[in-house]
Copies of this chain bind each other. A is one copy, B any other.
């Protein structure tokens, strides 16, 4: 089967986008991606919109149709992809399938979310609705799970609290060089460790912010890609997998089954293993998640990811740079956009377009986590040869 290529990428400024709504953000990223790819709107055959909750956040649904209209891409087929906080990764999978199945020779994926016009409480309510009612109605929200899991991890594996803080410090450091990041500022370890407690032992700086933003990717068969450019990226492997919807039913709280299974599928399809990955974007919605994904994807043994972070292994000049974009932590986490933006960062790294964030990389991976690992999509990309 012909490989699926990525020939363009874009993302808007992440942060607080006052006075704009989801449709504006999607159109901004969409138009920029068309330009970046050098593709005319009427060449787009399928248009996927990754978005969790425009209806809940803005009282507006049908945004894919609005976007097809705004991009003048009619009669392109369009559809919304929702997989909660991994909607963006699910969008990459949907877009990949649209091309790999032969249904579309040019697929534009745009992910976005507009959240900051809501209070933190209102936004959190929408997010909490993705978990099982038994959980969220009794107050066990995603941050609670993160706190519980972090405490368990630190105690069981003898990891110092500081190691989690260093994830935040590293990702903020990377975000400084990302002009699209919500927070382009460094934080020191002390600030992280002394920030207000959210879910003990995790504190404010262990959590990603609430964000508005959008990101886009252009996918097509490799043969079509070559008509546009000599430099492109291919998706070498992609897979998605679920874990239990009720978190307490999992056997080991430090093993994210969805990460393990989707990673296994993506590795198998690509022919690559953990050692072949040169750069990765992981879903650091909470600092502890970066450890769990590193271990689930085979970058570290169980209970040992923290050591790699302590050693600087995952810094930009380390052996496996993780979250060179700044991650969700400093770049921000507009739900539907985040997984797409992970893809944008890997694309730019593989294309050598990452500017001051550039690392040496031929093969990259992104892992987008829905809920507390309820559904995870892992994508492996490589520079075309």
Contacts and interface: CB of A to CB of B under 8 A. Distances in A.
Interface stretch (A71-79, A184-192, A355-363): A71-79
Nearest to A241: B75
A288 interface: no
A60 B133 contact: yes
Interface size class, chain A:
35 or more
Interface string A60-104: 111011101100011111111111100000100110111111110
A79 B82 contact: yes
A245 B69 contact: yes
A371 interface: yes
A242 B61 contact: no
Nearest to A73: B242
A94 B93 contact: no
A261 B75 contact: yes
A305 interface: no
A24 interface: no
Nearest to A68: B242
Contacts of A261: 75
A143 interface: no
A33 to B, nearest CB: 18
Given A242-B74, A245-B68, A257-B74, A62 B374 contact: yes
B101 A65 contact: no
Nearest to A72: B244
Given A69-B245, A93-B103, A101-B101, A77 B239 contact: yes
Of A77, A84, A90, A102, most buried by chain B (CB within 10 Å of CB) is A77
Interface in A360-375: 370-371, 374-375
Of A81, A97, A129, A239, most buried by chain B (CB within 10 Å of CB) is A97
A242 B65 contact: yes
Contacts of A81: 79-82
A97 B93 contact: no
A5 interface: no
Given A65-B371, A74-B242, A129-B59, A80 B79 contact: no
A126 B64 CA distance: 16
Given A82-B82, A96-B101, A103-B97, A370 B77 contact: no
A29 B371 CA distance: 25
Nearest to A132: B66
A68 to B, nearest CB: 5
A209 interface: no
Interface string A102-144: 1100000000000000000000001001111100000000000
Interface stretch (A12-20, A48-56, A323-331): A48-56
A74 B243 contact: yes
Given A74-B244, A246-B69, A131 B100 contact: no
B131 A62 contact: yes
A60 B374 contact: no
Given A66-B132, A77-B262, 13 more contacts: A61-B126, A74-B244, A75-B242, A75-B257, A75-B258, A77-B239, A78-B240, A78-B375, A79-B240, A79-B375, A97-B101, A98-B101, A100-B102
19 contacts: A52-B61, A55-B129, A56-B56, A59-B129, A61-B82, A61-B84, A62-B129, A62-B130, A62-B245, A65-B84, A69-B242, A69-B244, A69-B245, A74-B241, A74-B244, A78-B375, A79-B240, A81-B82, A93-B103
